[in-house]
Amino acid sequence: MWQALREHVPWLEDEPLAGIHAIQGADDGAGALILGHRAKLVVRCPVRRVDQLLSALSGKTLMLGEHSLVVGAGKSRALSTYSPLYAHCVVTGDEDEAKFAREVLRLLRDMDIECRFICGRPQLLYDGTQQVRGYSLLLHNLPLAQAIAVQQHGIGLHRKLGCGLFIPHKSIVAVGSVESV
């Protein structure tokens, strides 16, 4: 997906705040993703670039290998003002969960962010050269300014592959109960 987007929006490669969220779909059993009509392509970029992004992608056909994806009319959406925040996959370069957690603490401290977090399931992804491991991550007890900063900058590696991008999560109750089992 990232390669297809770069063909239409070459400046994305050099934009450090650009990222792409994973598109939700169903596995067809043969490794392909089946997308429904309501599937959404969500790209993070700085506000100053939103109009450029929308005009570059609206109505375009993205080639994903031998498959095509037509991008509909886009719209901009502000970052969430809610906490807790959830990322499907955060990659720090550490495969061990304890080392991963220590690195997350360091990255948060470097951003002057103090919050609590819960590491979730391990996630595997292919970065173009090798398989890398990350973990889902839930951040909670974030003040508003820090929640916005985390969404703007993300945490960890591979932002352009969807890693380290945070979205609002309605509750930590379900996650917290798993933690206590």
Domains of the chain: 2-70 (no CATH), 85-179 (3.30.70.1210)
* Rounded CA separation 16/75 (Å): 21
pLDDT over 90 at 1, yes or no: no
DSSP character for 12? Answer: G
pLDDT over 60 at 65, yes or no: yes
pLDDT at 178: 38
* Rounded CA separation 147/139 (Å): 9
118-164 pLDDT, tens digit per residue, is 999 999 998 888 999 999 999 999 999 999 999 999 999 999 999 99
pLDDT at 37: 80
pLDDT over 80 at 70, yes or no: yes
Distances (CA, A) of 64 to 5, 73, 146, 159: 10, 19, 36, 19
* Rounded CA separation 43/62 (Å): 14
Amino acid letter, 35: L
Other CB atoms within 10 Å distance of the CB of residue 136: 16
pLDDT over 60 at 181, yes or no: no
Other CB atoms within 10 Å distance of the CB of residue 49: 17
pLDDT over 60 at 180, yes or no: no
pLDDT at 44: 94
Strands (E), the chain: 19-20, 26-27, 33-34, 43-44, 61-64, 67-70, 85-90, 116-126, 131-140, 167-168
94-115 pLDDT, tens digit per residue, is 999 999 999 999 999 999 999 9
If you average pLDDT over residues 76-84, what whole number do you get? 90
Residues 164 and 90 sit within 8 Å (Cβ to Cβ): yes
Q: Does 172 or 36 have the greater pLDDT score?
A: 36
Judged by average pLDDT, the poorest of 26-40, 133-147, 151-165, 167-181 is: 167-181
* Rounded CA separation 177/25 (Å): 27
